[in-house]
Structure 1
């Protein structure tokens, strides 16, 4: 038998800590969970297309989140991930590299948690997004070279003793792809009572790559007979990486379709969960944005135009093959954020973008004509 130990006199025994930092963590998690419960799931909109018999279009409307975009989900996941990893604590300065929408949502959550927030963004980011970040109390650090947003964000976080959320690295791992009301689970749940409840295709553009990773993983996890098409844009490295297998490819110029396309292949982009990928011109994306806005009766953003063009491209191939079924994509954000750019004729002319040929082609297709344009 070991001798009795006198713990009172043992100099190595100390009182257990009170874990004051955990008290803040508990409060923060409670706030995030309460906000999640208040924010009802987004709508799934069906678009009536009588000239495309047997093919049904659905749009998951992420613009109805409190911060107006798909990135609301990602921002919440990134905060939960960082807090539960012990990286974000009371008083932490939150820093993010963003083209706008993620930063808007993160500014919202930072204010909810009482944390200072800094968004590092290209100077070309739409003024509407910059104004939204500032309305939530965030600070915008604008850079002339979009490729420097990563290093600038890391530098600012280090100097402030704060935390760089780094959406481009952590988007695919911060989101619970198995379920927990992620966007994939929500889509399939809402589709369950539709005539064709299991979509033939999900179509999604890539920004961080996190949403396409979640969709692709969930499809496999649930063993759905659904395929995933990812649509890339001009001035983006994703498509070339998918086509060649070279994850080190880069693009020298920044994308003009905010929220999608990247000059480098982001760590969250997982090409092996993608079934097919295409690349479309910016003119095609913005024409599709205009056509869909008219049919919905409200403005949507450029990345949603990218999604819609991809949806039409898949539908045209299904129609040619005599296939029927449902197709689902996302409305990523509202077009009101782009009144000074995508919906501005002077901006389009300055950029050398002519949407008219693609607008006519899409309208013709939706009215029963052929899909005449080719994409890569």
Structure 2
């Protein structure tokens, strides 16, 4: 049982109760599945590593944001920033808001997500189904200032996940340092060990706020493991050019079109020192690989999972060519479930309207899964 860390003398009885409730919820949560991807060995040459998928879509709120959202609330409770009647606010329409709404309802606190005016009805509905309410704001980048303003006016707390989530996960890692299997990295290592497999050669993750890659990378290094961490980055995002150029405050100023990953600027939680490789993934490849994942395994996941699968294929191919099949498996994260994307990324008319031509990336992914080589991409037609 993880200690709750609720012994601060400044805390009210309600805050201590809330901390204990969230810690008990964390301790009781089941591990998510580790699924083997059916990757055929090539007909000639070394078989290369096995490929596994860590399915975070099975978290109670459907995404890997579930754990970080809980840690954000725990950190704020321990700091005395939240009490029995504190309204909570956040600036996002994505999975983080869904998870925060879930935990706010668990604690009996009102939760408001400030969302872009153009946020879809489906996104708003998911937040509301978990007990939250949505407050639209325009232009999209105004959501952060608006959430802060609303929190101040209501005497509430702005959760501010982009700025705070890294520190929250650091605190969780420190509190659980003696627990070898805690956190997402610990779960992956335990899953593989129980299957009689070595530690992974690579773990492949997407990066939005940067908190997940930071938490995994720091845990791997704390245990001095040979496992390397790869980050996949979509078009328009800042992380690949910033990481490659060593510019920590790099900004493209352009939004990602792949839900859940990519940012117009490098966020404070991102730690480039624990990242071994950043793989740029074309948007069409992310969507094609997401659909390929569903066709091959029946697992309907979001587009960030497609990006991770594409990056994992790249690494498997490289390890085959380098003869590195004995170094351990490759593990890619499935970040969220695909049901919210049924009318967007899974809809041909919607993707075609964005200029994404999926035929070429599918013509690379499908043969590779059957055991053929990872052929070069077709150059764009002029």
After TM superposition, the score normalised by the length of structure 1 is 0.90
Name the residue aligned to 2:351.
348
Corresponding residue for residue 192 of structure 1: 193
**Distance in 2 separating the partners of 1:142 and 1:367:** 46
Determine the structure 2 residue equivalent to 1:207.
208
Q: What's the counterpart of residue 14 of structure 1?
A: none
Q: Secondary structure at the match of 2:266?
A: coil
> In the alignment, what sits opposite 1:68?
62
CA contact (8 A) 2:41 2:48 kept: no
- For residue 177 of structure 1, give the secondary structure of its aligned residue in structure 2: helix
Distance 1:285 1:241 in 2: 21
Q: Following TM superposition, by how much is the alpha carbon of 1:94 offset from its aligned partner in structure 2, in angstroms?
A: 0.9
Instruction: Provide, for residues 346-371 of structure 1, a one-character-per-residue CA deviation record: whole Å limited to 9, x for no partner.
Output: 21122111111101111111112222
Does structure 1 conserve the Cα–Cα contact (< 8 Å) formed by 2:70 and 2:103? yes
1:83 paired with 2:77, answer yes
Match of 1:119, SS state, is strand
Runs of 5+ unmatched residues, structure 2: 1-8
- Which range moves more in the overlay, 169-178 or 203-212? 169-178
CA, structure 1 residues 209+351, in 2 after alignment: closer, same or farther (shift >3 Å)? Answer: same
- The structure-2 alpha-carbon separation of the partners of 1:111 and 1:133, relative to structure 1 and needing over 3 Å to count, comes to same
Once structures 1 and 2 are overlaid, which stretch shifts more, 116-125 or 308-317? Answer: 116-125
**TM-score normalised to the size of structure 2?**
0.89
Bigger mean CA deviation after superposition, 110-119 or 173-182: 173-182
- Cα distance 1:193–1:136, how it changes in 2: closer, same or farther (>3 A)? closer
Q: CA RMSD in A?
A: 1.8
How far apart are residue 98 of structure 1 and its match? 2.0
The CA distance in 1 between the partners of 2:193 and 2:131, in whole Å, is 40
Aligned counterparts of 1:202 and 1:364: Cα–Cα separation in 2: 23
What is the CA distance between 1:128 and its match in structure 2? Answer: 2.8
Cα pair 1:240 1:249 within 8 Å, conserved: yes
Q: Which residue of 1 aligns with 2:15?
A: 25
Partner of residue 34, structure 2: 44
Aligned residue among 7, 24, 30 for 1:34:
24
2:89 maps to 1:95:
yes
The answer for the alignment partner of 1:362 in structure 2 is 365
1:99: how far off? Answer: 4.1
Q: How does 1:241-320 map to 2 (within 5 A)?
A: 241-320=242-321
- 1:162 to 2:156 alignment: yes
Q: CA deviation at 1:177?
A: 2.9
Q: Which has the larger radius of gyration?
A: 1
Query: 1:199 touches 1:327 (CA, 8 Å); kept in 2?
Result: yes
Cα 1:172–1:63 shift into 2, 3 Å: same
State the 1:191 CA deviation: 1.0
Distance 1:124 1:206, change over 3 A: farther
Who is 1:177 aligned against? 173
Q: How does 1:133-152 map to 2 (within 5 A)?
A: 133-152=127-146
Asked whether the equivalents of residues 93 and 124 of structure 2 are also in contact (C-alpha less than 8 Å), the reply is no
**Cα offsets for 1:72-118 (capped at 9, x unmatched):** 11111111011011111111111112241000000000001111111
Q: Is the 8 A contact 1:146 1:254 kept in 2?
A: no
Over 3 Å counting, the alpha-carbon distance change for 1:319 and 1:248 in structure 2 is same
Are the aligned partners of 1:128 and 1:338 in contact in 2 as well (CA < 8 Å)?
Answer: no
Instruction: Specify every segment of 5 or more residues in structure 1 that has no aligned partner in the other structure, as ranges.
Output: 1-18
Check the 8 A contact 2:11/2:80 in 1, yes or no: no
Counterpart of 1:113 in structure 2 is: 107
Query: Residues 374 and 198 from structure 1, CA distance in 2 versus in 1: closer, same or farther, beyond 3 angstroms?
Result: farther
CA distance in 2, matches of 1:126, 1:157: 23
Whether the 8 Å contact between 1:126 and 1:338 is mirrored in structure 2 is no
1:278-320 per-position Cα deviation (integer Å, ceiling 9, x unaligned): 1111101001100111122131111111111110111111111
| Cα pair 2:361 2:377 within 8 Å, conserved | no
Match of 2:4 in 1: none
Give deviations 1:213-263, integer Å, cap 9, x for gaps.
011101110010111111111121111111112233222332111111111
Q: Partner of 1:192: helix, strand, or coil?
A: helix
Say if 2:48 and 2:323, in contact at 8 Å, map to a contact too.
no
